[in-house]
Amino acid sequence: MVTLLLDQTQLEVVLSPTERALSFRKRNIVVPRSTIDRVQLTDDAWTWLRGVPNPGTNLPVAVAAGTWKSAGGNDFVIIRRRKSSVVIDLRGHDEFERLVLTTKHGVALLKALRLEVASEPEDVADLVS
């Protein structure tokens, strides 16, 4: 599962070496807070996939990782099995329209986005505890 770091200006999706390999991505995803339009929790992230992986990995109901291209724009996904996930809709982001991420810290992310946070990035799970 991805690690989410949040500070006053941005949300950073920190990818593990395995997630980097599966998603064919060299760097973490950095999202300015001003581009976050909506955050939703879901128990079935697979229903949120749209388009085709390009580049990415798709093993249905096991793992989906990478960029999904569709007519609606590019989405970045890291989905593992049928675990709790978060869907982050973006507006005005340079690269993606949506992030779909499996994380057990979805509720913590929602709470942390409402808080005034420090200027140094912190794990969202630590922010709300």
**Mean of per-residue pLDDT scores for the chain:** 88
Q: Residue 60 has what pLDDT?
A: 87
What mean pLDDT do residues 87-113 have? Answer: 90
Q: What is the pLDDT of residues 27-72, one digit of tens each?
A: 999 999 999 999 999 999 999 999 999 999 999 889 999 999 999 8
Contact 105, 113 (CB under 8 A): no
Question: Residue 80 — φ and ψ, nearest 5°?
Answer: -125, 120
pLDDT band, residue 3 (cuts 50/70/90)? confident
Domain boundaries, the chain: 3-127
- The rounded percent of the chain whose pLDDT value lies above 70 is 92
CB atoms within 10 A of CB 84: 16
pLDDT score of 98 more than 60: yes
Contact 89, 38 (CB under 8 A): yes
The secondary structure of 51-112 as a DSSP string is SEEEEEEEETTTEEEEEEEETTEEEEEEEETT--EEEEEESS-SS-SEEEEE-TTHHHHHHH
pLDDT score of 15 more than 90: yes
Question: Residue 52 — φ and ψ, nearest 5°?
Answer: -130, 150
Predicted structure pTM score: 0.86
Contact 15, 120 (CB under 8 A): no
Contact 68, 49 (CB under 8 A): yes
pLDDT score of 115 more than 70: no
